[in-house]
């Protein structure tokens, strides 16, 4: 009897806590209004989350990833990825455009993809940034986006493990329970 009463108390406490302290969401950084200079340079990939494994499975084959953001022209950013997979290093480049009246980045060749910027302070990391990639449903009858994932990047190779843990907990609270973190056991590619 005491055990049942205790379990009911814990259950009600949990419900009350979530009613008072609901899931939080990161602060959006509007791509067309932020100081782009603060985002140029090196970024280390830390984790990716989604509500579907298919949105993040490609990250699981990598040991580590280093990205370099450069501004190549007005309203154009180039992201160069140095990706370590086993003994192999791969390089990939993406070009993003900032467009007037839009708060997201537009990926060249994938205009339907929205790339939103979020403050890393949500993961308790002032030297981090969170990117969210979203693509609309493939057909009009589909009820969910065909791509929806959050990715955490840090300025440092190594961050406190609490940063990634906080990121994973906060995204899980928002129904993003599938995650990938990279082992970072090998040397970074350059």
Q: Alpha-carbon distance 100 to 103, whole Å? A: 8
Give SS3 for 166: helix
Q: What are phi and psi of 146, to 5 degrees?
A: -80, -15
> Is it the case that residue 3 has pLDDT exceeding 60?
no
- Architecture of domain 28-181 in CATH? Beta Barrel (2.40)
pLDDT tens profile 75-115: 899 999 999 999 999 999 999 999 888 999 999 999 999 99
Q: Alpha-carbon distance 71 to 28, whole Å? A: 21
**For the residues 114-138, what does the mean pLDDT come to?**
94
Whether this prediction's pTM lies above 0.75 is answered by: yes
Give SS3 for 40: coil
93: its two tokens? 């480049």
Give SS3 for 172: helix
Partner residues linked to 151 by β-bridges: 48, 131
146: its two tokens? 């065909």
Pairing of β 41-50 and β 147-154? antiparallel
Q: How confident is the model at residue 73 (pLDDT cuts 50, 70, 90)?
A: confident
Show me where the domains of the chain are located.
Answer: 28-181
């Amino acid at each position: 009897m005491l055990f049942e009463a205790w379990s009911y108390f814990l259950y009600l406490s949990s419900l009350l806590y979530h009613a008072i302290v609901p899931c939080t969401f990161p602060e959006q950084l509007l791509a067309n209004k932020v100081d782009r200079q603060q985002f140029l340079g090196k970024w280390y990939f830390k984790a990716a989350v989604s509500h579907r494994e298919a949105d993040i499975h490609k990250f699981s084959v990598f040991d580590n990833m280093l990205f370099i953001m450069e501004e190549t022209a007005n309203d154009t950013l180039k992201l160069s990825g140095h990706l370590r997979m086993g003994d192999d290093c791969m390089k990939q480049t993406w070009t993003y455009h900032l467009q007037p009246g839009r708060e997201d980045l537009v990926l060249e060749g994938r205009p339907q993809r929205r790339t939103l910027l979020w403050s890393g302070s949500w993961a308790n990391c002032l030297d981090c940034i969170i990117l969210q990639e979203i693509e609309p449903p493939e057909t009009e009858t589909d009820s969910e986006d065909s791509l929806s994932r959050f990715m955490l990047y840090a300025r440092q190779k190594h961050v406190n493990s609490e940063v990634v843990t906080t990121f994973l907990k906060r995204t899980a609270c928002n129904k993003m329970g599938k995650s990938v973190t990279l082992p970072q056991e090998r040397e970074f590619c350059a």
